[in-house]
């Protein structure tokens, strides 16, 4: 047990804390037998007055209309299938970064779709692929674990690539997941109607799907139809997230991801896989007395970020001639970060080398995998 791999807690585990506590209190007082997941289960809503104050703050449930549904949908598929773009399109806001390079997403990203009649929590996952590094293996394991924790699975297959062994491999995995699977043909705008129809048939033949839906996240076509289909698979439940909250990603993670998205732009070959980004420090001069301050930056939030690559040759590429590439990465990502935070930011980027971090358990741990 000394070197146990890091595991993300499941949704059930995350939710077990305060709710389980509610349940124990309630069971004790009312002599009702306990239910495993009170919040997911409309009948077990705590009677506020009967609970101690500490339990009452756990979930504030607004008026829930009759027939309201809430739950989780997990998006899976090969790398580059369009999962994150589709997640953002459904949420209506950018919660996950996207790029034309495979394996852009490296951790589960949750995005929340709020509707009057339902709340759909999307879990965007890293692309499933044949792993070549320890990082790749961990990403695959993460996705498999996630499958068992959701109400419905969204299997994404791009319209513009032939169904191949990679898709069949995932389809087999999904058959074991014992969850309804909605197959989605993504990037529908990239092919003709005939080619799309042929792809829908090919995807239909891949497995036993609850539905097959074509979408174009880029054009916003059929995105609402997919939402309706997914919500149809959710259980009756009060909302799971507060109104207006579109993600529970920590701010530092969102910042690191925006830098990585900008850095992926225009790099080729193995470099995208070799790049990790970490936020080293965030100093708010308005509130922080400690932390190293940079002169002349006024009240701007100071954000220090490291771009970690595996070899010195990659470091040179990231920095570019006379620092030109790094500067461009800074300009692009700063825009996104300022939009995210709603205030001016001073962004300080550094590039460093951590040899073969993708295959080194210690380096992986340091980088948060």
Ligand X SMILES: Nc1nc2c(ncn2[C@@H]2O[C@H](COP(=O)(O)OP(=O)(O)OP(=O)(O)O)[C@@H](O)[C@H]2O)c(=O)[nH]1
Closest CA to 118 of 245, 40, 232, 12: 232
Per CB under 6 A, contacts with ligand X among 211-240 are 216-218
Under the criterion CB under 6 A, does residue 85 sit at the interface with ligand X? yes
Residue 84 interacts with Mg ion (CB under 5 A)?
yes
Taking contact as CB under 6 A, which single stretch among the options 50-58, 59-67, 102-110, 283-291 is the one that binds ligand X? 102-110
Q: 190 contacts which partner out of ligand X, Mg ion, none, CB within 5 to 8 A by kind?
A: ligand X
The reply on whether position 104 binds ligand X by CB under 6 A is yes
Q: Give yes or no for residue 266 binding ligand X (CB under 6 A).
A: no
Residue of the chain from 190, 297, 338, 353 that contacts ligand X (CB under 6 A):
190
> What sections of the chain are H helices per DSSP?
11-30, 53-56, 83-91, 134-147, 165-175, 193-204, 223-231, 251-264, 271-274, 312-319, 324-341, 361-366
Exposed/middle/buried for residue 252 (C-beta within 10 Å: 0-12, 13-18, 19+)? middle
Chosen from Mg ion, ligand X, none, partner binding at 85 (C-beta under 5 to 8 Å by type): ligand X
* Of the candidate residues 15, 39, 95, 99, the single one contacting ligand X (CB under 6 A): 99
Asked whether position 204 contacts ligand X by CB under 6 A, the answer is no
Torsion of CA 249, 134, 99, 102, to 10 degrees: -140
3-state secondary structure of 278: strand
Q: Which of 67, 137, 170, 87 is nearest to 361 (CA)?
A: 137
In the chain, the largest separation of any two C-alpha atoms, in whole Å, equals 72
103 or 302: whose CB is closer to ligand X? 103
Give whichever of 23 and 227 is closer to ligand X, judged by the CB atom: 227
Min dist. Cβ of residue 328 to Mg ion (A): 22
Residue 116 neighbours by CB distance under 10 Å? 6
105 binds Mg ion (CB under 5 A): yes
Q: For the CB of residue 153, give the shortest distance to ligand X in the complex, in Å.
A: 14
Residue 96 CB, nearest approach to Mg ion (Å): 6
Is 140 a binding residue for ligand X by CB under 6 A? The answer is no
Only segment of 30-38, 62-70, 97-105, 195-203 that touches ligand X (CB under 6 A): 97-105
Residues 203/183, Cβ–Cβ less than 8 Å: yes
Contact between 105 and ligand X by CB under 6 A: the answer reads yes
What token pair was written down for 2?
A: 């000394």
Q: How far is CA 363 from the centre of its chain?
A: 22
- The verdict on 87 binding Mg ion (CB under 5 A) reads no
Q: Does 80 bind ligand X (CB under 6 A)?
A: yes
Residues in the chain: 369
Cβ atoms < 10 Å from Cβ of 239: 21
Which residues in this chain contact Mg ion in the complex, by CB under 5 A? 83-84, 104-105
Q: Which residues in this chain contact ligand X in the complex, by CB under 6 A?
A: 77, 79-85, 98-100, 102-105, 126-127, 186-187, 189-190, 216-218
């Amino acid at each position: 047990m000394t070197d146990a791999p890091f595991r993300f807690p499941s949704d059930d585990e995350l939710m077990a804390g305060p709710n389980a506590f509610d349940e124990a209190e309630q069971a004790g007082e009312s002599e009702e037998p306990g239910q495993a997941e009170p919040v997911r289960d409309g009948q077990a809503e705590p009677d506020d007055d009967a609970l101690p104050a500490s339990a009452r703050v756990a979930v504030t449930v607004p008026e829930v209309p009759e027939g309201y549904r809430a739950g989780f949908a997990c998006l899976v598929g090969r790398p580059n299938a369009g999962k994150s773009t589709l997640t953002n399109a459904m949420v209506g806001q950018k919660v996950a970064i996207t790029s034309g390079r495979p394996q852009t997403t490296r951790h589960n990203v949750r995005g929340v779709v709020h509707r009057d009649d339902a709340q759909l929590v999307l879990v965007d996952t890293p692309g499933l692929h044949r792993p070549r590094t320890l990082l790749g293996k961990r990403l695959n394991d993460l996705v498999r674990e996630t499958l068992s924790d959701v109400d419905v699975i969204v299997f994404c297959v791009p319209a513009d690539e032939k169904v191949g062994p990679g898709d069949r491999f995932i389809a087999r995995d999904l058959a074991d997941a014992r969850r309804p699977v909605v197959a989605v043909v993504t990037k529908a705008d990239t092919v003709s109607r005939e080619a799309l129809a042929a792809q829908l048939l090919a995807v239909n033949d891949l497995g036993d799907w609850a539905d097959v839906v074509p979408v174009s996240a880029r054009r916003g076509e059929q995105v609402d139809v997919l939402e309706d289909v997914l919500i149809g698979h959710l259980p009756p439940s009060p909302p799971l997230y507060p109104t207006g909250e579109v993600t529970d990603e920590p701010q530092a993670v969102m910042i690191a991801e925006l830098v990585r998205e900008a850095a992926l732009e225009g790099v080729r070959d193995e470099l995208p896989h070799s790049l990790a980004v970490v936020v080293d420090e965030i100093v708010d001069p308005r509130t922080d007395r400690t932390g190293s301050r940079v002169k002349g930056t006024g009240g701007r939030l100071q954000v220090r970020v490291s771009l970690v690559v595996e070899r010195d040759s990659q470091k040179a590429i990231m920095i570019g001639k006379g620092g030109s590439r790094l500067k461009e990465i800074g300009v692009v990502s700063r825009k996104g970060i300022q939009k995210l935070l709603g205030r001016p930011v001073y962004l300080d980027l550094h590039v460093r080398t951590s040899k073969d971090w993708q295959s080194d358990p210690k380096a992986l741990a340091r980088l948060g995998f």
